[in-house]
């Protein structure tokens, strides 16, 4: 345990010293992963599937804020969708525009969740999103997470019905648009995932704010149980097929990621908890103070010792 705490302090010191270089690298990896996964799963515009395009775009995103990265990723996605169906492109463009105007004009800090949520779905670990976001964010973060789930299932629908969307020339534009909206809104698995993520995120946000020991650990466990419960109930009542092996594998990895995040961000020493009481003219205050668990990193100094050269005795 002490070794892990020392490692955490060293990583914090390393980031504090070289954060100006580390942040662009993180943005590059995040952007390259998003663009590459989109090319792999919805690469309908062949000109954008060239290997160097995600690389160039990721290099550009390294120096942009996350809001601009989300806008660029949305434009990249719409360009791919336009290669197969203008109706899907129109639906997604209107959806992103409405979300951007109604939400991100007031709280742009969560814009990366629109991209990160579909990416985690493609990586088969989406259940980590409500746990980590609930630990670090607030209740309003439900909006971008839910929108990210909708974007993923829209892309999944397009991928599974690419042939129908391309060859359906018998219906007019309005009929195709209405059929698309009906198919998306009738997707029971999407609705269950939105409900599971929303409930889990709310539970994590509420529990982490309670004045109780190990509230973050309890929040992770409760959020995980909430997700599993909603998915299993949906599987029984709504006849939604979910791969049990994939579900438990994704949940296990998600819990591990949430635990690692908690260790590096929220580690405290409950053995030194203090309760403070004071008052002013209007109120009595009862404060529970829990110190953060920190250790000092060992200062290792290497001293170079030069050996004396042996002198031969003079005759």
CA dihedral 228, 122, 189, 207 (to 10 degrees): 40
Lowest mean pLDDT among 9-18, 22-31, 130-139: 9-18
Domain assignment present for 102: yes
Lowest mean pLDDT: which of 19-28, 53-62, 156-165, 240-249?
156-165
Q: What is the pLDDT of residue 99?
A: 79
User: Among the listed ranges 38-42, 68-72, 112-116, 310-314, which one has the minimum average pLDDT value?
Assistant: 310-314
CA distance to 115, 132, 211, 234, per residue, from 150 (Å) = 11, 19, 34, 17
Is residue 134, in this structure, part of any structural domain at all? Answer: yes
pLDDT at residue number 195: 95
Q: Residue 90: how many CA atoms within 13 Å on its side-chain side? A: 10
**Residue 168's pLDDT is what?**
56
Please check whether residue 309 lies inside any domain of the structure. no
pLDDT score, position 23: 92
Q: Please indicate, yes or no, if residue 183 is contained in any of the structural domains.
A: yes
Whether residue 250 lies inside any domain: the answer is yes
pLDDT per position as a tens digit, 278-307: 888 788 888 877 777 666 656 555 555 555
* pLDDT for position 275: 81
298 lies in some domain? no
On whether residue 294 sits in a domain, the answer given is no
Q: Is the pLDDT of residue 253 over 80?
A: yes
Domain boundaries, position 134: 1-289
Scanning the chain, the segments in alpha helix (DSSP H) are 2-42, 52-61, 66-82, 86-99, 113-122, 128-136, 142-160, 162-167, 173-185, 188-208, 215-237, 244-266
Most confident of 179-183, 198-202, 279-283, 293-297: 198-202
More confident residue, 304 or 242: 242
pLDDT reading at 56 higher than 90: yes
SS (H, E, C) 234-285: HHHHCCCCCCHHHHHHHHHHHHHHHHHHHHHHHCECHHHCEEEEEECCCCEE
- Determine, yes or no, domain membership for 299: no
**Cβ atoms of 249 and 222 closer than 8 Å:** no
Task: Name the burial class of residue 76, with classes exposed (0-12), middle (13-18) and buried (19+) by CB atoms within 10 angstroms of its CB.
Answer: buried
Residue 167 has pLDDT above 90, yes or no: no
pLDDT at 313 > cutoff 60: no
pLDDT number for residue 82? 85
- How many domains would you assign to the chain? 1
Distance, in Å, from the CA atom of 248 to the CA atom of 299, rounded to the nearest integer, reads 43
Specify burial of residue 284 (Cβ count, 10 A radius: 0-12, 13-18, 19+).
exposed
| Mean pLDDT computed over 11-40 | 89
Q: How far apart are CA 240 and CA 58, in angstroms?
A: 37
* Residues in CB range of 132: below 8 A, 6 or more apart: 257, 258, 261
pLDDT surpassing 70 at residue 89: yes
The number of beta carbons lying within 10 Å of the beta carbon of residue 268 is 16
Report the pLDDT value the prediction gives residue 107, as an integer from 0 to 100: 62
Per-residue pLDDT at 45: 85
Q: Mean per-residue pLDDT for 157-176?
A: 68
Q: How confident is the model at residue 44 (pLDDT cuts 50, 70, 90)?
A: confident
The model's pTM: 0.81
CA atoms within 13 A on the CB side of 250: 19
């Amino acid at each position: 345990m002490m070794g892990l705490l020392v490692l955490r302090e060293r990583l914090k010191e390393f980031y504090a010293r070289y954060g100006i270089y580390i942040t662009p690298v993180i943005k590059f990896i995040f952007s390259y992963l998003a663009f590459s996964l989109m090319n792999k799963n919805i690469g309908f515009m062949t000109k954008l599937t060239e290997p160097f395009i995600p690389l160039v775009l990721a290099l550009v995103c390294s120096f942009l804020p996350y809001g601009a990265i989300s806008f660029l990723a949305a434009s990249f996605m719409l360009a791919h969708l336009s290669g197969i169906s203008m109706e899907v492109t129109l639906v997604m463009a209107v959806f992103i525009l409405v979300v951007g105007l109604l939400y991100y004009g007031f709280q742009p800090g969560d814009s990366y969740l629109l991209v990160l949520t579909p990416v985690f779905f493609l990586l088969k670990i989406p259940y980590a999103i409500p746990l980590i976001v609930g630990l670090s964010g607030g209740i309003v973060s439900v909006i971008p997470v839910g929108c990210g789930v909708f974007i993923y299932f829209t892309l999944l629908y397009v991928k599974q019905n690419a042939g129908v969307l391309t060859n359906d020339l018998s219906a007019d534009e309005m009929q195709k648009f209405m059929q698309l909206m009906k198919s998306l809104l009738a997707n029971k698995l999407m609705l269950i995932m939105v409900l599971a993520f929303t409930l889990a995120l709310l539970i994590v946000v509420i529990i982490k704010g309670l004045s109780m020991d190990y509230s973050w650990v309890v929040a992770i466990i409760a959020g995980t149980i909430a997700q599993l419960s909603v998915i299993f109930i949906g599987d029984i009542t709504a006849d939604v097929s979910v791969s049990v092996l994939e579900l438990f594998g994704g949940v296990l990895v998600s819990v591990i990621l949430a635990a690692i995040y908690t260790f590096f961000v929220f580690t405290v020493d409950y053995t030194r908890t203090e309760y403070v009481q004071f008052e002013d003219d209007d109120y009595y205050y009862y404060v529970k103070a829990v110190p953060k668990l920190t250790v000092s990193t060992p200062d290792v100094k290497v001293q170079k010792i030069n050996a004396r050269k042996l002198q031969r005795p003079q005759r």
